Amino acid sequence: MPHPLKHALAAALAVTVMLAGGIRADAAPKVAHFTLANGLEVVVIPDHRTPVVTHMVWYRVGAADETPGKTGLAHFLEHLMFKGTEKNPQGLFSQTVSNIGGQENAFTSSDYTGYFQRTAREHLKMLMEFEADRMTGLVLTDDVVKPELQVVLEEQNMRVANNPAARLSEQMEASLFLNHPYRRPIIGWRQEIENLTREDALEFYKRFYTPNNAVLIVAGDVTAEQVKKLAEETYGKVKRVTEIKPRLRPQEPVQVAARTVTFADPRVAQPSVQRYYLVPSYTSAKPGESEALEILAHILGRGSNSRLYDKLVVDKGIAVNAGAGYSGSALDDTRLYISGTPKPGTSLAQLEDAIDAVIAEVAQNGVTADELARAKTRLIADAVYAQDSQGTLARWYGAALTTGGTIEQVQGWPDRLKAVTTEQVRDAARHWLDKRRSVTGYLVKDTQTVEKRP
Amino acid sequence: MNANMSSLLWGALALIATALVPQHASATKIESIRTPAGIEVWLVRDPTVPLVAINFGFRGGSAQDPPDKGGTANMMASLLDEGAGEVDAKAFHERLERAAIELSFTAGRDTLRGSVRTLKENQDEAFELLRLAMNEPRFEQDAVERIRAQIVSRLRRQSTNPNEIASRAWWETAFPGHPYGRPGNGTVESVAKITAADMRAFLKRVLTRDTLKIGVVGDVDAAGIARLIDRAFGTLPAKGNLTPIPEATIQGVGRRILVDLDVPQTVVTFGGPGVKRSDPDFMPAYLMDHVLGGGSFSSRLYHEVREKRGLAYGVSDNLLWLYHAAVHIGGTATRNDATKDTIDVIDAEVARMAQEGPTADELDKAKTYLKGSFALGLDTSTKISNQLVSMQLDNLGIEYIDKRSALIDAVTLEDTKRMAKRLLEGGMLVTVVGRPQGVAAK
């Protein structure tokens, strides 16, 4: 279960869907959206191709909402949500899902926490009853909390402690965000995870788990009317536990100094360099800005046609790989990342200089009309391909609605993307890819391998 | 069928269905059509979304690599979209991107698989690029060296990854001297030796119509798709030339191999004999193994290792059937000072299953799970097309989807007990990578 979306920040676009230019409009699902009296938002995404449903509940709470000193709590609670309620003792929900051939899991990001099941459509009401029950009815004893804490510590070992690249990434996040809680690892700092308690988890649960802080998404072989009726009969009976305050996190100051981080581990057999820039998210950006950043990241670093790959891997032959990406799906300012893996014989400093030259070229001379057109086609096609997967659509809407977005923003994304000009892409590079707003990370075998710059 | 250890270990914990495939697919009607050139295609027509998903497979994967040039199939698969015919690598990638076409090839141990996803409006271009990639790949020197550098870089990274080390040690010990004992993507040394001529020779031996299986899903009509299939596949050689692979039985059962690595968490790979897909006892074994280590949060191993004792984040066991051997293989990862306890718990559960088999209640639940979860694996075009090819490569027959539930229901408790004894009684081959305390090699 408990499978934190480690890269939730990197979960690409906030959004999407529906018709790209020239693509059939009738292919778009008719998405319904309504709110129950207790404040629970509901989204229904019909997909009648297979008799299955994807049932998800998303809470507007993530690692960035934790109290300082309690890192890892949002994720730990996500694990503990499988420990039962007064009505449905431990294991009954999971066992029932398994018995009907269903699948389930859960995930935690900096901004949201989600739970989902996929089953044949006739079981939807039962899933809703179980999920509504654990929205406010969780019961925890130390007998189940203590072993689960060990599980989470093993998860931290697996995802981070055993993995040098993940450890560098953790240090870079902490360095990119000087003040915002995005600097904390979603899974938590180990010494703080070790001290999390049953009381911490219950206090956090009571503060954030309430229908007026949740979004229900049902995708699959159902209609909006069916879901509305079932939701009212199940979730509709859950009382508000508390009112939710606006999510005002400490924001970043004006960043004035480029940072560098070096992580050395004898197990690093292939060195690499990474760069994170602090940039606006889909929610924090001015109109058009995040779409320009999305296209900029695509042209710089997605796939074999990208500037970075073409210049560093193909033309100069100094890198094995190079790429970039934009983690636009976030409530507050987020990151655009660039990565490069040098060929033997190329130093990280040489590779970094070459990356900087590619960025400078785009900032100075912009991108071509042809590059822009290809990027738009590719990104808008993602929205069409997403229609093929009820799970993907459910995730896009869920992530948008829990990071400050709206249904309309999701649906208007292809049109907004189409409106981006070459000048906007150039300006995004000029304005946002400023080293003073960045951290550069070096993954090396030992610190000697980072040569000193003259 | 692919023995990628990391997906084996964690796939079952995420929502990926490791179960074979679909079943309750009332919405999924499979047609078998034959093209004018005589190529069989399994087709599911679905106009809901304006796209086409194509999956295909040939017999002959990394097991067909020349013995001293491990990684040939993998490297060739990575080079097919790096320029073909008159189109150089850069132009090829631009054409793919301009039409938002996704095209990829992957080498498994026994098969070479490919997939294409395209918007319906770009399907002609997609099949043209597919034709070029399979029929006229260029293998130009700069592209060959570029891809070689990427593969070697990945191999270097894997050389210190405990999951990868544990997996390689397990396969090497299980199948010494056999192609299955060699890593599919080769070694730094073997990849250095592969030439363009080797890849051309491999292509000619393996990408041939006699073993080709195709699945297509999407907004297509039968005549239109037949024309496109013939264009892309019709000019491939009629007959291949596969090196015979000897049948193999797992070696090293009962052994425990330690590899020292300075990491906080020890990685454990374990497993033993399995059953082939064609074995009449496949389904009983599949159900038994599901009770032991399959599913998401319901197996005995999950319950004993994770839920009850908090020893690991993940633990699972799966059947893996190859063409010339079969195993069950699983894994876990736990802190160094808990490794001995974890291995003891797993050993005890495997021994208990070998002796007693599943209970009637466990078997019933496994049956309902495996029947019910089948449809979940059929909810996207890509998953379905992939499934259509796997069913053909496994010789299951087009009516398999309709028969599957009955095959599951026919399994008796005695069948599963018999299979538990057959697969588990002899113990397991275990590889352990880390700095575990109190764990001895044997």
Question: Which tens digit of pLDDT belongs to each residue from A319-374?
Answer: 999 999 999 999 999 999 999 999 999 999 999 999 999 999 999 999 999 999 99
High-pLDDT (> 90) share of chain A, %: 90
User: B-chain residues within 8 Å CB-CB of A151?
Assistant: 306, 310, 312-313
Q: Between vectors from CA B50 to CA B47 and to CA B51, what angle results, nearest 5°? A: 105
Say if CB A307 and CB A432 are below 8 A apart.
no
> Rounded to whole angstroms, how far apart are CA atoms A367 and A426?
7
Residues 379-438 of B with CB under 8 A from A: 379-382
* Contact call for B379 and A102, based on CB within 8 A: no
Q: CA nearest A450: which of A440, A438, A436, A437?
A: A440
* Contact call for A150 and B310, based on CB within 8 A: yes
Residues 5-24 of B with CB under 8 A from A: 13-15, 17, 24
pLDDT for the residue numbered A19: 29
* Contact call for A269 and B310, based on CB within 8 A: no
Say yes or no to pLDDT of B13 above 60: no
Exposed / middle / buried, residue B44 (Cβ in 10 Å: 0-12, 13-18, 19+):
buried
* Contact call for A320 and B117, based on CB within 8 A: no
Say yes or no to pLDDT of A20 above 60: no
Q: Which long-range contacts (CB under 8 A, 24 or more apart) does B145-150 make?
A: B146/A313, B146/A314, B146/A317, B146/B82, B147/B75, B147/B78, B147/B79, B147/B82, B148/B75, B148/B191, B148/B192, B148/B194, B149/A320, B149/A343, B150/A320, B150/A321, B150/B78
> Rounded to whole angstroms, how far apart are CA atoms A23 and A377?
11
Exposed / middle / buried, residue B410 (Cβ in 10 Å: 0-12, 13-18, 19+):
exposed
B295 band by pLDDT with thresholds 50, 70 and 90: confident
Under DSSP, is residue B267 helix (H, G, I), strand (E, B) or coil? strand
Q: Which residue of A has its CA nearest to B304?
A: A147
Nearest CA to CA, how far is A246 from chain B (Å)? 32
Q: Report helix angle A198-208 to A73-80, nearest 10.
A: 90
pLDDT for the residue numbered A13: 26
The mean of the pLDDT values for chain B is: 92
* Residue B254, both tokens: 């009962």
* Contact call for B379 and A390, based on CB within 8 A: yes
> Rounded to whole angstroms, how far apart are CA atoms B346 and A442?
39
* Contact call for A147 and B334, based on CB within 8 A: no
How many Cβ contacts (< 8 angstroms) between chains A and B? 198
- A41 an active-site residue? no
> Rounded to whole angstroms, how far apart are CA atoms A213 and A241?
10
* Contact call for B376 and A1, based on CB within 8 A: no
Q: Which residue of A has its CA nearest to B147?
A: A320
Question: Regarding predicted confidence, which is higher, A451 or A21?
Answer: A451
Say if CB B436 and CB B336 are below 8 A apart.
yes
User: A-chain residues within 8 Å CB-CB of B125?
Assistant: none
State whether residue B259 sits within 8 Å of chain A by CB.
no
Closest Cβ–Cβ partner in B99, B117, B368 for A100: B368
> Rounded to whole angstroms, how far apart are CA atoms B45 and A304?
32
* pTM higher than the cut 0.90: yes
Task: Please state, as a whole number, how many other Cβ atoms lie within 10 Å of the Cβ of residue B406.
Answer: 9
Q: Which long-range contacts (CB under 8 A, 24 or more apart) does A324-327 make?
A: A324/A297, A324/A300, A325/A10, A325/A12, A325/A297, A325/A301, A326/A12, A326/A279, A326/A290, A326/A293, A326/A294, A326/A296, A326/A297, A327/A7, A327/A9, A327/A10, A327/A11, A327/A12, A327/A281
Strands (E), B234-314: 256-260, 265-273
pLDDT for the residue numbered A28: 57
Say yes or no to pLDDT of A76 above 60: yes
High-pLDDT (> 70) share of chain A, %: 92
Q: Find the mean pLDDT for residues A433-447.
A: 96
**A313, β-bridge pairs:** none
The top-scoring range by mean pLDDT among A9-18, B170-179, B216-225 is B170-179
Q: Which is catalytic among the residues A66, A78, A291, A352?
A: A78
User: A-chain residues within 8 Å CB-CB of B375?
Assistant: 50-52, 101, 120
The mean of the pLDDT values for chain A is: 92
